[in-house]
Every structure is written in structure tokens, then in C-alpha cells.
Amino acid sequence: MKVVTVSMMLFMAIPAASLAQSRPADVPRQIYGMVQVVDATTFEFVKSRQVVRLAGYEAPRLEQTATSAGVGWPAGQVSRAWMILRTLGQNVNCGPIGRDAEQVLVAHCFVGETNLAATAIAEGIGYAFNYPGEPQVPAYFDIERKARGLGYGVWSSPDLLAPWLYDASVAKAVTSDSRLPESEPGLPLPLPVNQTTR
């Protein structure tokens, strides 16, 4: 009797067509080794220095915070810490499927049989998300619906903005605050930090 584990089910969540897509010549077939976690969605391989972003997955920004049952928590830091714990001391096996708009490799990545993006989504660490022009991973949205229904992680905080909405709100705030406030006449301006007063 063959036993199907949760890890195997998450691995099977990626359609074969997605794994076998034609890739550009500058995209390697496989990258394997130890990684340094940059943020919750991006790794840098230690030996090759190649940077890889997980396909079909997005996580809270490092500075984002959330509130669940009246308790505040650093959602972005928790997502990054989760990814560090999953990859620390482990070889990561990535199958690149293309490059994003910034030419970063986009890949499906595993530790053993564990699909990192699918597992993170299932545990409420992040979101199923596809950037425009990138391959869709419909199974991740099915996994996300279950995590959302159970109120796991990011789904336990009604005030937590999805990262793409958070980015848009930050961009809007920067645009509206781009004009420096005018100083009132007669008030001295503070000295620059590197100068001292005598």
C-alpha cells in the first residue's frame, strides 16, 4: 500500500505542464544547494550567488505587522523566519520556470519533498499570487482557500493588507507626501546630523 503524505500532495499541486514549461536558454534547469533567505519569497544560493523567487507565492513585507485576537505580531518577520527555519541547514532544490520583470529567476523550490510555496500557503504564512506574465499555479489558490477558511496565520488578522495592496498604499503615501513641508518663518532649521554646535 502506497502512503501519500501531505508533502507529496503539495508537490503534486504543481501541474506537470507548469514544471515542464519551455524555459528560455538563460534559465537553468535546476539549482541545488544551501540558500540564504533574503525575504520570505526570495533566496540567494550560497555557492552560485543566484537569486531565486518562489513562483506563485507572495508574503507580507518585512515591515508589515498584524493583529490577531488583540495581539500584535510582526507578520513580515514571521514569514521570513518561517522560511529560514524551513531551509536552514538544508539543501534547496529549485526548478526555475523563467525570470520576472527584474530578471530574477522564478522557480518552484523544495526541501526534500516539501514544496516551500505550497506549504507556506497551507500554513497561512503567505498568499497564492501570480504576477502578470508569470505562469499561473491554480492549485495554490485551492490551498489558500482552505487556510483562509481555517483562519491560519495571515488569515487570522483582519487588518493585515495583502502585500500587493500594502505596496500600493505605501506608494500612494509617498506620492502624496513627496512635497517637503515648508518651514515657518522665524524658526531656525535644525543643523545636519554630522555637524556639531559650539
Higher pLDDT, 68 or 18: 68
Residue type, 90: Q
Residue type, 140: Y
pLDDT, averaged across the chain:
84
- pLDDT at position 16 is 44
- pLDDT at position 152 is 94
Give the mean model confidence (pLDDT) for residues 4-32. 61
CATH number of 144's domain: 2.40.50.90
Task: Domain of residue 78: give its range.
Answer: 6-156
195 within a domain of the structure (yes/no) = no
Q: Which three cell numbers stand for residue 149?
A: 477558511
Residue with cell 531656525: 188
pTM: 0.77
- pLDDT at position 128 is 97
34 within a domain of the structure (yes/no) = yes
Whole-angstrom CA distances from 85 to 35, 89, 166 are 12, 9, 25
173 within a domain of the structure (yes/no) = no
181 within a domain of the structure (yes/no) = no
72 within a domain of the structure (yes/no) = yes
Count of domains observed in the chain: 1
123 within a domain of the structure (yes/no) = yes
Tell me the per-residue pLDDT of 119-178, one tens digit each, with 9 for 90 and over.
Answer: 999 999 999 999 888 888 999 999 999 999 999 999 999 999 999 999 998 888 877 655
SS3 readout for 102-165: CCCEEEEEEECCEEHHHHHHHCCCCEECCCCCCCCCHHHHHHHHHHHHHCCHHHHCCCCCCHHH
Q: Which three cell numbers stand for residue 99?
A: 525570470
- pLDDT at position 26 is 83
Tell me the per-residue pLDDT of 69-103, one tens digit each, with 9 for 90 and over.
Answer: 999 999 999 999 999 999 999 999 999 999 998 99
Q: Nearest CA to 127 among 70, 174, 167, 170?
A: 167
Residue with cell 543643523: 191
Give the mean model confidence (pLDDT) for residues 46-70. 96
64 within a domain of the structure (yes/no) = yes
175 within a domain of the structure (yes/no) = no
